[in-house]
Structure 1
């Protein structure tokens, strides 16, 4: 056990974590040169295309240092704020962390939040300045920032380059000397923490775990504490680039277990594995439940695919524990699921993975957040969907979630960023200079305002130089109204949204104008109205296609023409009473993309 080191790599997005991990694997000869490729741990096509890490990846390396063999378990983590749950799980399975900071960009928002998460778990932190080979690198200034953040000495900060491999030997030396060996009692009853799982169509569900106490061997009879299910361990082993079977996994090590589990509900991330004959007295604590930030409806395009979509979401949830879902139905779209995501990028990635990995064509509705609705009797109801809102006459007040956002940017962009945040009903809490020309702005913002396009706008007003991180704060009373879209007086539930009173009129007008362009013309006028309760606030009309019924009347008395026109008028009136308006699919999608 004294020769095991478990560590993860944490950093802001695009600071070179995966490239540095490649160099560590190369230096320890874990991977042959023929298998070597850039970002070797990013195994998903999506990760390679976008150049981001979506899943944390565990891999074991062996390294000889001063005549002794060491086992190093590395977990490469994502950097984007939407995948911070992956980072929190990796940190729970480690004793130390490499904090990587880009020498050209310095400390950014996600770096700070990941550091605090690591400090909470008492991890040993090794600061590394990466990309020192670049011409625009400013290692001395970045060193000052790290000293301010961690309070460490300058000589503790390592300088490296993930591209050239410079400084990798020093990093491995620091990992062995500074990160403590895992604690735990090899003779105690088995306690292993599940930190990830994947679905394999041939072998069932494979769970990844870290052994905290005791040891686990092949053919052991084990029990998953949270679900209470018992299994035989058909195969246990360690994670190299693929899976390597072993007879036994000892205390402090990271490994996998295959036990023929078929249904995804039986494996929960954060669960504890123990032996049936000699169980541990309590499960491992300190594992937090995921809190979704953004909710959206996911519906199959073909209504027959509902059950296939359920199976696909369950398999995806194994590999992405931060996804939550429950069934719901909509008048316009049929049966589907209400899904909870950690952010908009997460929602986009889930939609892409459903299409690529499970061939599921899906439609996503307008993303929104959960609200607390209080009625006149003082009862509270949580509402995720505008159609679940009670009658406005019964509502006392509505509370919406607020976040505390930290934005780190260059001083040149303070003005446009403040304008953007204040326009989103933000409140400036404080502004402080981090170093030189870098400033941190802290805002309280309503979550509902940032779920659609805030991040994109922030990047464009700051020319990409602003980093953004946030955490949930609390729920605050707000003047929210339900905006309905009516077609000929009939509400369309898939287009209704909850919005702030001040924004309702402009949003209603824009939605009506967009729908007017997209709804095909009928034989009668279609009234498109935006309404709050019974008050109409915007209206557009799709004009009728008119057939010229008097064309065959040439000459003769005017009363002949009038008779034909009256007859047409009667027909139109009857058609308007019984005719219904179909909203085309692209109209739903266009309303989502309204700026």
Structure 2
């Protein structure tokens, strides 16, 4: 159903604006519901429509996940009995569901007054559903509970409506039921948004204040900044000022996304839109900054976003050393679009010049690496991911370790590692396997709650290092895919951790070093030594591969030497001649072994340090 033309941006009465987002667990149908809303309101016609319309990146479409929040403005006419009805402006933000992109969700919530909490009618409430609900309640948003996928044969809408009503604090009949696939119930959801979500509040005739909630770099137009206007208005050709940096720019273009960019003369109170100033310097549009008028600036900035702390660190190095400047520029541009990414220059004896990057999780790391390779045409090696440790020495000094090569030598008093509070939602049949997995990963049980007769919430304190790598895959395999996981950082604890070095012919290779728990050090050393034995080609001399903790070797593999056939020209004759040639070869190999340096091909580094495809699997499950 196509709606009448919406009021022009800037002329919109704030009481006719509704800003809301869609939040849910992975794969519960957020993007599909957004697609139906775009079709229902007529901003995208059937010919231009495609699945996951708001997922703009190829990588999002291939993996079937949302990585970046997307804002879109849609007109919706609500019928008032016999008359033509009232046209409202709805600013919809589609958000990611994966725990690694929670920061994107929190930024989207700050630009809204309401949230649609979407739950799969076949799977029910899952861990990230709870996490996103708590984020919305913290942001003081009105929550509209909605059950999706009611058209599925396995749907249990009555059962999960009760669970959802209990969680949100409403009656089961207040839970809306939709099928984002067929479009059933979508109009009722839009009606509920208009009726239940408060209009934005702001002062129109005062100094302009707008919050930057996202930015993107365009090769031709420079930095495109997405803002939510709180007070005043921003007009075309106005001079604007960034309050944190003090930088002043002229607005070359202002407009709204509906769903493609549309120019406007101005955007006012409560509206969500974009600004283009022609700025090429990516650091001048920081997410969370306040934009104001340069001629009549506001005195107080808006409250910014809490900056995310990286949970996982890994080194990114270009395969070709000449690509280092390109990698630095690429990270600069990517950070503009992904404020959770942090990086600093780093040098490795084995891999050359690169960057130490901080990520929110393993999937985040994989997405960043894949975007760098696709969008900037780079070939990269990433080191084994690790977390940040704090090491106290006996002499009273303290070291923060983000890279195993920074691990101090000498007498260590204590090592502190980050811990998280993990929430696992699982059917009651799998309580045993889940608890067993958490115990083997050094977890401490905090408590259990039954959400219903057949679903339970289990809470554990777990070391972050134990869950960032393959915990999710192990959890899914033990519960046949039914369990879901959410976690949040809660502090740190002391632990018996050691640094395991890999030595090739007595020389440590910093790229292969790792910090692991003492109980797991032997198995880690044996596994990596065996892997390297298969990957490193045979040399002219014997190469020992050793795993060591300090000066103590805990595992060893040997790559046998290539033996040149020095007897090829000897046929018949005295055996002593052959023996003499073999002895001479032996002496030469001894000398070579003393001065020889092991050559490790790039492919071996890539294979030994590869993190597999666990992140992608996580996203799809």
User: How does the TM-score come out when normalised to structure 1?
Assistant: 0.97
Structure 2: any 5+ residue segments left out of the alignment? 1-13, 613-621
Of 344, 352, 359, which aligns to 2:370?
A: 352
Q: Does 1:415 align with 2:428?
A: no
Cα separation, 2, equivalents of 1:373 and 1:226? 35
Report the count of equivalent residues. Answer: 594
Of 107, 113, 137, which aligns to 1:119?
A: 137
Q: Give, in angstroms, the shift of residue 593 of structure 1.
A: 5.0
Q: Give, in angstroms, the shift of residue 585 of structure 1.
A: 2.3
Of 177, 180, 185, which aligns to 1:162?
A: 180
- Which residue of structure 1 aligns with residue 549 of structure 2? 532
- Which residue of structure 1 aligns with residue 340 of structure 2? 322
Q: Is the 8 Å Cα contact of residues 289 and 304 (structure 2) preserved in structure 1?
A: no
Q: Does 1:474 align with 2:487?
A: no
Of 262, 279, 283, which aligns to 1:244?
A: 262
Structure 1: any 5+ residue segments left out of the alignment? none
Q: Is the 8 Å Cα contact of residues 434 and 475 (structure 2) preserved in structure 1?
A: yes
Q: Give, in angstroms, the shift of residue 555 of structure 1.
A: 6.0
Structure 1 residues 370-379 or 464-473, which shifts more? 370-379
Structure 1 residues 115-124 or 162-171, which shifts more? 162-171
Deviation track 1:374-420 (CA, whole Å, cap 9, x = no partner) reads 122333221110001111x2422110000110010111222222222
Aligned with 1:208: secondary structure?
strand
- Which residue of structure 1 aligns with residue 3 of structure 2? none
Deviation track 1:254-291 (CA, whole Å, cap 9, x = no partner) reads 01000011011111101100112211111111521011
Cα separation, 1, equivalents of 2:239 and 2:495? 54
**Alignment of structure 1 residues 226-375 onto 2, 5 Å:** 226-375=244-393
Q: Does 1:376 align with 2:391?
A: no
- RMSD, aligned CA: 1.5
For CA contacts below 8 A with separation 6 or more, give which structure has more relative contact order.
2
- Which residue of structure 2 aligns with residue 210 of structure 1? 228
Cα separation, 2, equivalents of 1:542 and 1:417? 40
Aligned with 2:604: secondary structure?
helix
Of 73, 81, 89, which aligns to 1:60?
A: 73
Cα separation, 1, equivalents of 2:568 and 2:28? 73
Cα separation, 1, equivalents of 2:482 and 2:465? 24
Q: Give, in angstroms, the shift of residue 219 of structure 1.
A: 0.9
4+ residue runs of structure 1 moved beyond 3 angstroms? 548-563, 592-595
Q: Does 1:7 align with 2:20?
A: yes
Cα separation, 2, equivalents of 1:233 and 1:536? 64
Q: Does 1:459 align with 2:476?
A: yes
**Alignment of structure 1 residues 380-419 onto 2, 5 Å:** 380-391=398-409, 393-419=410-436
Q: Give, in angstroms, the shift of residue 557 of structure 1.
A: 5.6
- Which residue of structure 2 aligns with residue 499 of structure 1? 516
Deviation track 1:144-195 (CA, whole Å, cap 9, x = no partner) reads 1112211112232111111111111111111111100101111121110000
- Which residue of structure 2 aligns with residue 18 of structure 1? 31
- Which residue of structure 1 aligns with residue 501 of structure 2? 484
Structure 1 pair 95–357 and aligned structure 2 pair: CA distance change class (3 A): same
Of 586, 590, 593, which aligns to 2:603?
A: 586
Aligned with 1:261: secondary structure?
coil
Of 449, 454, 459, which aligns to 1:437?
A: 454
Of 182, 199, 216, which aligns to 2:217?
A: 199
- Which residue of structure 1 aligns with residue 4 of structure 2? none
User: How does the TM-score come out when normalised to structure 2?
Assistant: 0.93
Deviation track 1:457-505 (CA, whole Å, cap 9, x = no partner) reads 2111111111110000111111111100001101111001011100001
Cα separation, 2, equivalents of 1:6 and 1:151? 22
Q: Does 1:545 align with 2:562?
A: yes
Cα separation, 1, equivalents of 2:275 and 2:521? 53
Cα separation, 1, equivalents of 2:125 and 2:492? 30
Cα separation, 2, equivalents of 1:314 and 1:593? 24
Q: Give, in angstroms, the shift of residue 563 of structure 1.
A: 3.3
Structure 1 residues 73-82 or 557-566, which shifts more? 557-566
Structure 1 residues 493-502 or 405-414, which shifts more? 405-414
Q: Give, in angstroms, the shift of residue 120 of structure 1.
A: 0.6
Of 589, 592, 595, which aligns to 1:572?
A: 589
Of 440, 445, 452, which aligns to 1:428?
A: 445
Cα separation, 2, equivalents of 1:588 and 1:4? 54
Q: Is the 8 Å Cα contact of residues 82 and 342 (structure 1) preserved in structure 2?
A: yes
Deviation track 1:34-60 (CA, whole Å, cap 9, x = no partner) reads 111111111111111111111111000
